[in-house]
Structure formats: C-alpha cells, structure tokens
Structure 1
Amino acid sequence: MTITESRTDLPALATQYAENGFVLVKGLLSKQEAASYRETSHRLLARLNRDDDPTWQSAMGMSEGKTRLQHLHDAQFYDAAFSRLLVDPRFTDVAAAVMGVEDVQLHHTKLFVKPPENGSPFPLHQDYPFFPHKYHRVGAAIFHFDDAPEEKGCVRVLPGSHLGGPREHDPSGSFHLPEVPFDDAVPQPAEAGDVLFFTYLTVHGSGVNISDEARTTWLVQYRDPSDPPTVKTHDHSLGQGMMLRGVDPTGRSGV
C-alpha cells in the first residue's frame, strides 16, 4: 500500500496520510542525490568510528544470531549536506501538507545503516511513548539513500493504526507492542530517493537485513511547533526546535 504521485500532488498525499497514517513519496530525491547522501553517510560513520549498537533487546528474538546496526544522532551537525536537506522545500512542503499545518519544527534526526546479512530489525511500536505531545501533530520522514527491498529489512507499517490513538506499550522501557503480530504489518519496499512519511501514532517496525548490501536511511522527526510536548524528552538532541518551514508562533523553540 504505497502512493506513487509526485510531491506536487500534495492534497492526494495528505488524503492517504490521513486515511492510512503514512505515505510513501516516490523519487523525492533523484537517484544521483540519494547515491551522494549514501556515500556521505557511510564516510561520516567511518570517520567517527562509532561502535555502539542501538539494537533493541526486544528485537533479539526476531532473528537467529546476533544482529548489528550503525547509527548516528544529529548528522546535520557533522555534515552540512544534511542541514540543507532538512530545509529542502521538497521535504518540508510534504511534511507540512500531511500534518495539515504551515509550520514545521525539528524534533530530532537519526542516521541508520543496517549492515548486510545481519542488519538489526525493529519490533513493532509507535513513536508516541518516546516523546508524547498534546495534540499528536508529530511525524517522521525516512529518507532512503539506497534501495530497501523486503530482504533488506524495509520498514513495515500497520495501515490505519494511528486512528486508535496511543496504545499501551511494553512497560519494560523498550516500548514495543508484543501483542501485534509482526506479519500483520505491511512491507513498504522503497527505492533510493523515496521518502516514507508517517505519524508518530502509526505502528511500524522493520525486519532483518539478510541481503548482501547495506540499507542506509535517515530518520527525521518533526512536529507542529504549536503542539507542546507533555513530557520533555530527547532534549539532548542537537537542534531541537529549529524551524524547518515557517515560524514558531509560540516562541518556545526547543522547550
């Protein structure tokens, strides 16, 4: 269940987003741009030599053997290419349209590389419990810098799951949804340059990368600046409160 309309058909994108809780925008970046960002991402991770693995403990049982994941918070503070992408109207216009707002504010970003053969999965979850907001006008965009077929552990979503509002998550701290069968979520295979937008109430996850190539994505979490957080979290994220489109009418910035 994807959409292939161009980003210029913003009302159609917003309609599908409202109905299903997500929309896959094809070709938001060109293949050449995506390839350049892939190269930049891998070079950055190699230069920083990060060896921490953010794999959820709850994901360990989703595959045989130990899986691995490379990640980096706040890539825009290490390379200006990511800063330019944050304020690119091709992205921000869609983010505003699907949320039904004019102003778009940054919450945080994460760069992910699922290594080949054993790239870590993510169990099904909502993003809501990690950074709840009063009116739930919070969304995410996953930029695909290389192809993400199902065998690479592409994102999976549960269509319409946002309509039920916040769910009760595992209280252990991993916040996954063990009662939702993983196979109920619909795979969203993507090509390099595609961007998947979804609400922070949409149930989603991803499988193991069993292919012989890495899967490279950049996650941008954003919000309506008029939607106040109910719990202050992720305040360690550099640049939280940065305006990506429009203005902050509250003067609250990163608060």
Structure 2
Amino acid sequence: MISDKDAKFYHENGYIVVDDVYNMAEVEAMRAVVEELVEKSREVSDHNDIYDLEPAHTSENPRVRRIKEPFKVHPLYREMVEHPNVISIMNKLIGVNQRLHGGKINIKAASFGSPVEWHQDWAFYPHTNDDVLAIGVMLDDMTEENGPLLIMPGSHKGPTYDHHADGSFAGAINPNDCPLDFSKAARVTGKAGACSFHHVRAVHGSEQNLSGKDRILLLYQVAAADAWDLQRFNEPWEEYESRMIAGVSTLEPRLVQTPIRLPYPTAKHTGSIYENQRAMTSRFFKFDNNPDKVLEDAD
C-alpha cells in the first residue's frame, strides 16, 4: 500500500497521508454507525463512557464532539482497524506485530466543532519504546476550512514538551513557552477514505471547524506489540491480548531511551483531552462556543 520512500518520509517527518485506504462503501458504513450513535446521544445530557459532548449539546440538537473507544461500541470499528490495507501500511511503519492501544471518533460540527490545542500523544501514554502511532481515518473530506489535523514536521525527533498548567497535567503545550514555529505546521487534508498516520511524539493540533459541513475523523492508536504502556501495568491479561490486531504478542517489552514526562499530577478536569485542556489559560487556537456567532463570522 505504501513504498519504502513513503515509509522514509514518515520516519523523517513524523506523519504520512495515504489516499484510498478504504473504499466508499466502507466509509459510508462507518459513517452510518456514527449517525446512529449521535442519534442515541439525545438520551444523555453529560459526558459518559461513550460520549464526550459539546457545551451546546441538547436532546433537541445533539452535539457530540467525541465517541470514545468506538471499537468497543460497535464491531465494525474493530473490523476496520484490521483492514488489510491498514495492516500493510503499519507493517512498514512500526513492524508486523501490532497492538491496538485505543481509539475515538472526533466530530467537528459544522461551523462550530471545538479546536484541539497543540499536544503530543506521548504525553498521555508513554511506552517502553515509541513505535506507536495514530491512524486518522477520514470519514469526510478533510479540507483547509473544516479544522484539519495540523502537524509539526520532524517534531517527533525532539523533546517531550511540558503539558501542564498551574501544576497539573492539562494535555496541551503552552504556545508561549514552546520554541516551535507553528506557522510551519503541515495541514493534513484528503478525501474521505484516506488515512493519516502520525507518530506518537509528533506535535499536533487542530483548529475550529469554520466550514458549513461536519468533519468526522476516526482515530486509532496502535503500538508495536513490544511497546508496553507504562501506565497499564494492572491491565488484565485477557484485555491485553484481546487488543492484538496483527502478528504475535510478547512478554518481553523492548526498552528504548526516549524523553518522557509523566502526566502527573493528574488533570484538574478529568476525561477527554477537551476536558483536560480546559485548564489552559494560554491558547493558540481561537474558539467561540456560540454556534450562531461562528456562523456569522464565517459569512
């Protein structure tokens, strides 16, 4: 599915975009399940184990910004991470033995969807080695206007930045204290069915969706089977093994010296990254949680 040249680009820049990983029938099937789950969100009024809601969510006008661990919510999403095209790509990026770490579906509502501040996934879940990545499955076209993923090329080779605010983990980098030039970020765009793959240490974020259409991105986090999550030491064996998606498991984690900062003390606002980042007083991305005003500004 990808060439050695493509894999080299990933290892040098920390990300790659691959077109047509999924066909449109597969995309439409995944999107249909999202629609079903959003419809069911009318029954909830606060965040729970499945939903992370926008501040303006109501039963009359449901606004879901995240569906948590979708592969546990519907079997289709477990099937799709084991797609032959996906496994083929990851074989070249992290090796043939692969374990699913987690996943989510981020929904940026039309003219409204929340931004995500600059961060590194590595700050949330460091492993014994960094052969860990995130797959971004584009269930809608990802354009310049609808809050695409922004990635700082080469940042996966640098330090792990401080993700704290006021003494606690906040899941975001203070842009005023970071030496990176965010104007040089790569904007990850593509058609529905394309996938982005970004390194766990790559600095990335996304803007508010200012377009008139929803933008849905299914994300999977996948690790090499010998990369052991440093925070999951009490995980039951059956759960650990159930997350193998390719190759063979191991009881001998591979240790590689990498820059690690622990996500402690834990976030003052627990839950998803959106909640964690509420503690940030210095932000890079603008956000107006009044959808009517955002619509006016977009005109």
User: Structure 1 30/210 Cα, relative in aligned 2: closer, same or farther at 3 Å?
Assistant: same
Q: Does 1:89 align with 2:90?
A: no
Q: State the Cα deviation string for residues 128-165 of structure 1 (Å, max 9, x = none).
A: 01110121111110100011102100000000101114
Partner of 1:152, secondary structure, is coil
Equivalent residue number for residue 220 of structure 1: 220
CA-based RMSD of the aligned residues comes to 2.7
- Match of residue 103, structure 2, among 104, 109, 112: 109
Q: State the Cα deviation string for residues 68-88 of structure 1 (Å, max 9, x = none).
A: 652111212222211210211
TM-score with structure 1 setting the length: 0.82
Equivalent residue number for residue 64 of structure 1: none
Identity fraction in percent: 24
Once residues 43 and 247 of structure 1 are traced to their aligned partners in structure 2, the CA distance between those partners, rounded to angstroms, is: 34
Equivalent residue number for residue 138 of structure 1: 132
| Uncovered stretches (5+) of structure 1, i.e. residues with no partner | 1-6, 58-67
Q: Does 1:174 align with 2:170?
A: yes
Once residues 56 and 185 of structure 1 are traced to their aligned partners in structure 2, the CA distance between those partners, rounded to angstroms, is: 26
User: Structure 1 144/102 Cα, relative in aligned 2: closer, same or farther at 3 Å?
Assistant: same
| Uncovered stretches (5+) of structure 2, i.e. residues with no partner | 56-62, 254-299
Q: Does 1:194 align with 2:194?
A: yes
TM-score with structure 2 setting the length: 0.71
Deviation of the 1:124 alpha carbon: 0.9
User: Structure 1 84/135 Cα, relative in aligned 2: closer, same or farther at 3 Å?
Assistant: same
AA of the residue aligned to 2:5: A
Deviation of the 1:167 alpha carbon: 2.5
* Equivalent runs, 1:119-158 vs 2, <5 Å: 119-158=113-152
AA of the residue aligned to 1:130: F
Matched residue pairs, number? Answer: 233
* Equivalent runs, 1:225-236 vs 2, <5 Å: 225-232=225-232
Contact 2:54–2:64, Cα closer than 8 Å, also in 1: no
Equivalent residue number for residue 41 of structure 1: 34
Deviation of the 1:45 alpha carbon: 2.5
Once residues 128 and 142 of structure 2 are traced to their aligned partners in structure 1, the CA distance between those partners, rounded to angstroms, is: 33
Once residues 53 and 124 of structure 2 are traced to their aligned partners in structure 1, the CA distance between those partners, rounded to angstroms, is: 16
AA of the residue aligned to 2:78: S
Deviation of the 1:37 alpha carbon: 1.5
Q: State the Cα deviation string for residues 90-144 of structure 1 (Å, max 9, x = none).
A: 1122122112x11010101111111111100111110001110121111110100
Q: Does 1:18 align with 2:11?
A: yes
AA of the residue aligned to 2:171: F
AA of the residue aligned to 2:205: G
Contact 2:54–2:65, Cα closer than 8 Å, also in 1: no
Partner of 2:4, secondary structure, is helix
Once residues 225 and 42 of structure 1 are traced to their aligned partners in structure 2, the CA distance between those partners, rounded to angstroms, is: 33
User: Structure 1 91/21 Cα, relative in aligned 2: closer, same or farther at 3 Å?
Assistant: same
Larger radius of gyration: 2
User: Structure 1 103/10 Cα, relative in aligned 2: closer, same or farther at 3 Å?
Assistant: farther
AA of the residue aligned to 2:249: D
Contact 2:226–2:252, Cα closer than 8 Å, also in 1: no
User: Structure 1 155/115 Cα, relative in aligned 2: closer, same or farther at 3 Å?
Assistant: same
Contact 1:106–1:239, Cα closer than 8 Å, also in 2: no
Contact 1:225–1:250, Cα closer than 8 Å, also in 2: no
